[in-house]
Amino acid sequence: MDLLREQDIQIPNLEEVIRFTASAHAGQVRKYTGEAYIVHPAEVAGWTASAFVNDPLPQVPAALAIAVAWGHDLIEDTMKHLTVKQREALLTAKFGPHFAYGVMSLSDLEEGNRAARKAAGVGRLASLPGWLQTIKCADSISNTRSIRHHDPKFWPTYRDEKLALIPRLTKADPFLHALALSLLE
């Protein structure tokens, strides 16, 4: 979907997206901190919003990018009783095709072991438009801080994965891109 050529970008109601995301992640906790999982999408949405305040990205309205940041983990981490296609159809019906496109684009749906999935994901994520790469950088910032602090054993693997990905996200907001890279040092 070429969002730049769409005449009418459907902007979901942010309050509804937040409520839906909170409900979908209800009962889930962050792996290392035990805090409610919704804290992570909220943090990613905050970083994403900061990118639009500092230097608005031209591809989409800020409200769409912030909504997608809130929902970025819906496909991977919730509604497991539905197939991926059913989850995508549900998000499209509830929040529109642009929201569903954004969430699907950010979802890790590659097959194989972790190394194969992450390697395949690099090319896919590097080809995304800048607004989605910006959300991915925001997601990386949130996850990197947590993993680096709480899981020194997994940190080298995670760091290598992000060092293979983040430099390729060249269309992302420059500040978030630089911050995501700096956290890997």
Q: pLDDT per residue over 124-143, tens digit each?
A: 999 999 999 999 999 999 99
- Rounded Cα–Cα distance for residues 42 and 73 (Å): 11
Of 64-68, 114-118, 138-142, 163-167, the one with minimum mean pLDDT is: 114-118
Q: With residue 18 as reference, give the H or E element that holds it.
A: helix 14-24
Domains, the chain, ordered by start: 11-182 (1.10.3210.10)
Q: Name the 3-class secondary structure at 132.
A: helix
pLDDT of 49 reads 94
pLDDT at 1 over 70: no
- Say what the alpha-carbon torsion angle 168, 45, 42, 69 is, to the nearest 10 degrees: -70
User: Smallest Cα–Cα separation from 143: which of 41, 6, 12, 17?
Assistant: 41
Look up the pTM and report it.
0.93
pLDDT of 7 reads 54
Phi, psi values for residue 148, rounded to 5°: -60, -40
Of 11-25, 57-71, 169-183, the one with minimum mean pLDDT is: 57-71
Q: What is the DSSP letter of 36?
A: B
Average pLDDT, stretch 72-91?
92
109 in Cβ contact with 84 (< 8 Å): yes
Convert 30-69 to b/e letters by CB count within 10 Å (16 or more is b). beeeeeebbebbbbbbebbbbbbeeeebebbebbbbbbbb
54 confidence band (pLDDT: 50, 70, 90): low
Q: pLDDT per residue over 6-46, tens digit each?
A: 457 889 999 999 999 999 999 999 988 889 999 999 999 99
161 in Cβ contact with 120 (< 8 Å): no
- Rounded Cα–Cα distance for residues 152 and 55 (Å): 35
What tokens does 7 get? Answer: 């005449």
Average pLDDT, stretch 72-80?
90
Share of the chain above pLDDT 90, in %: 79
Computed over every residue of the chain, the mean pLDDT equals 91
The angle formed by the CA atoms of residues 63, 28 and 25, to the nearest 5 degrees, is 30
95 confidence band (pLDDT: 50, 70, 90): very high
